C-alpha cells in the first residue's frame, strides 16, 4: 500500500509524529488493550508535579506520596477517556493514515469492549481520587472526565471551543497536583499553565493541518474551518502571554524566597524557557508537533532546554 504523503511531499505519518505500530494488528489482547490506553501520553500527567515542585514540598514524604498518587490516578482516568474517544471515533480513525493502526480502529480491541473498559476505568479512577486524595482532588478528576467526555461526544466539532477543551486537560492536571498536596496556586502559575497549554494545542492543530493537507477536513471538521493564519495568530498570542507571565512569576518567586540575598536562579531560568518556546514555535511552523508527547520524548534540543530550565528553577526553590 502506498504511503500517504503530505502537502510537503513527506509521509503523513512522519509529520504527525505518532507512534506507528506495525501494519499488522496486535494479536495478544492484553498488549492491544495496553496500547489502546496510550501509555506514551502519560508523560502529560507529569504536570501534576509542577505546583508541588515549584512550592518546594516534594522533599516531604507525605506530599511526595500524594503527588505520585495523583499522577497514577490521572494516568488511569486519562486512559479511560482515550478508550472511550477511540470507540466513538472508530469510523473516522479507520480513514486516518496513522490512527487506523490504533488497536480499536484496527479491530484488535472491539469498540464495545473499549467503551466498557474505558467507562469502568474512568469511573474507578474518579472514585479512587475521592477515596485517597479527598473531595477537592476528586472534583478536579470528575471535571476532567466530564470535559473530555463532552469533547469526545460533541465539542470536538466546535471551533475554538475544542481548543479550550484540550487545553483544559493540561490545566486540570496542574491544578490537581496543587490540590492533592494542599499547595496554593499563584495567579502567574495558572496563567503560564493556561496559555502554555493553548500554545501547544494550537501548534498541534497547525501540524495536523500541514500533515493532512487537503484531506484535513475529512479527518477532523475543525481542521478545515481554521485558516492557517488563524492558528498561527493563536500560537503567537499564547506564546507571548506565556513568556510574559513566566517572567513575572519568576521575579515574584525570587522576591518571596529571598532571605537577605538575591536568588538569581529564577531569573536565569527565563532564558531556557524562552528558548524552549521559540524552539517549539519553529517545530510547529515546520509542520511538526501533531503528537506533543513525541516532541517531549524525542526532541533532544527541547529536552536539554527543559532540563536546564528545570535545574535552574529547582536550585531557586531548594538551594
At 190-227, the pLDDT tens digits run 999 999 999 999 999 999 898 887 777 777 788 889 99
d(Cα 218, Cα 223) in Å, to the nearest integer? 9
% of the chain with per-residue pLDDT over 70: 88
Q: Scan for cell 471538521, then name that residue.
A: 221
Task: Give the distance from CA 228 to its chain's centroid.
Answer: 22
d(Cα 126, Cα 121) in Å, to the nearest integer? 9
Cell numbers found for residue 239: 506564546
Per-residue pLDDT tens digits for 249-270: 988 877 766 665 556 888 999 9
Query: How many other C-beta atoms can be found within 10 angstroms of the C-beta atom of residue 68?
Result: 14
DSSP class of residue 2 equals: P
Cell numbers found for residue 133: 486524595
Phi–psi pair at 5, nearest 5 degrees: -110, 145
Per-residue pLDDT tens digits for 26-56: 457 888 888 888 999 999 999 999 999 888 8
Q: Which residues pair with 11 in a beta bridge?
A: 5
Specify the pLDDT at position 219: 76
Residues 6 or more apart from 174 whose CB is under 8 A from it? 47, 48, 50, 51, 185, 189, 190, 193
% of the chain with per-residue pLDDT over 90: 58
Number of H helices, E strands in the chain: 16, 0
In terms of Cβ atoms closer than 10 Å to its own Cβ (0-12, 13-18, 19+), residue 176 is: buried
pTM of the model: 0.88
Specify the pLDDT at position 44: 93
Cβ–Cβ < 8 Å for 4, 12: yes
Query: How many other C-beta atoms can be found within 10 angstroms of the C-beta atom of residue 289?
Result: 28
Cβ–Cβ < 8 Å for 115, 123: no
d(Cα 86, Cα 37) in Å, to the nearest integer? 10
- Of the pLDDT bands very low, low, confident and very high (cuts 50, 70, 90), residue 5 is low
Residues in the chain: 319
Residue 85: pLDDT over 50: yes
b/e map of 86-95 (b: 16 or more CB within 10 Å)? bbbbbeebee
Specify the pLDDT at position 25: 43
Which residue in 125, 126, 102 sits closest to 114, CA to CA? 102
d(Cα 310, Cα 250) in Å, to the nearest integer? 12
Per-residue pLDDT tens digits for 139-150: 999 999 999 999
- Of the pLDDT bands very low, low, confident and very high (cuts 50, 70, 90), residue 134 is very high
Cβ–Cβ < 8 Å for 274, 199: no
Task: Give the distance from CA 101 to its chain's centroid.
Answer: 21
Query: How many other C-beta atoms can be found within 10 angstroms of the C-beta atom of residue 272?
Result: 20
More confident residue, 78 or 58: 78
Residue 7: pLDDT over 90: no
Task: Count the alpha carbons within 13 Å of 71 in the hemisphere toward its beta carbon.
Answer: 19
Of the ranges 73-82, 97-106, 271-280, which one carries the lowest mean pLDDT score? 97-106
Amino acid at each position: 500500500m502506498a504511503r500517504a504523503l503530505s502537502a510537503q511531499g513527506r509521509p503523513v505519518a512522519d509529520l504527525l509524529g505518532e507512534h506507528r505500530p506495525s501494519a499488522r494488528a496486535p494479536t495478544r489482547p492484553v498488549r492491544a488493550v495496553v496500547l489502546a490506553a496510550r501509555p506514551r501520553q502519560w508523560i502529560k500527567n507529569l504536570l501534576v508535579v509542577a505546583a508541588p515542585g515549584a512550592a518546594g514540598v516534594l522533599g516531604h514524604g507525605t506530599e511526595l506520596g500524594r503527588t505520585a498518587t495523583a499522577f497514577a490516578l490521572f494516568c488511569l482516568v486519562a486512559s479511560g477517556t482515550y478508550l472511550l474517544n477511540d470507540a466513538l471515533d472508530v469510523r473516522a480513525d479507520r480513514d486516518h493514515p496513522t490512527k487506523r493502526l490504533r488497536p480499536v480502529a484496527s479491530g484488535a480491541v472491539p469498540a464495545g469492549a473499549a467503551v466498557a473498559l474505558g467507562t469502568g476505568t474512568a469511573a474507578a479512577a474518579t472514585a479512587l481520587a475521592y477515596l485517597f486524595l479527598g473531595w477537592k482532588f476528586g472534583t478536579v478528576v470528575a471535571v476532567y472526565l466530564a470535559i473530555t467526555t463532552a469533547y469526545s461526544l460533541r465539542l470536538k466539532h466546535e471551533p475554538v471551543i475544542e481548543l479550550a477543551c484540550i487545553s483544559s486537560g493540561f490545566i486540570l492536571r496542574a491544578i490537581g497536583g496543587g490540590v492533592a498536596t494542599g499547595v496554593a496556586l499563584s495567579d502567574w502559575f495558572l496563567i503560564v499553565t493556561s496559555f502554555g497549554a493553548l500554545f501547544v494545542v494550537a501548534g498541534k492543530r497547525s501540524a495536523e493541518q500541514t500533515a493532512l493537507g487537503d484531506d484535513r477536513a475529512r479527518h477532523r471538521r475543525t481542521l478545515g474551518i481554521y485558516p492557517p493564519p488563524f492558528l498561527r495568530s493563536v500560537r503567537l498570542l499564547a506564546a507571548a502571554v506565556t513568556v510574559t507571565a513566566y517572567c513575572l512569576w519568576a521575579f515574584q518567586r525570587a522576591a518571596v524566597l529571598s532571605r537577605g540575598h538575591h536568588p538569581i536562579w529564577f531569573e536565569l531560568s527565563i532564558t531556557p524557557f524562552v528558548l524552549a518556546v521559540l524552539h517549539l514555535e519553529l517545530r510547529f511552523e515546520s509542520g511538526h508537533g501533531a503528537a506533543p508527547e513525541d516532541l517531549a520524548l524525542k526532541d533532544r534540543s527541547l529536552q536539554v532546554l527543559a532540563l536546564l530550565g528545570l535545574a535552574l528553577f529547582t536550585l531557586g526553590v531548594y538551594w
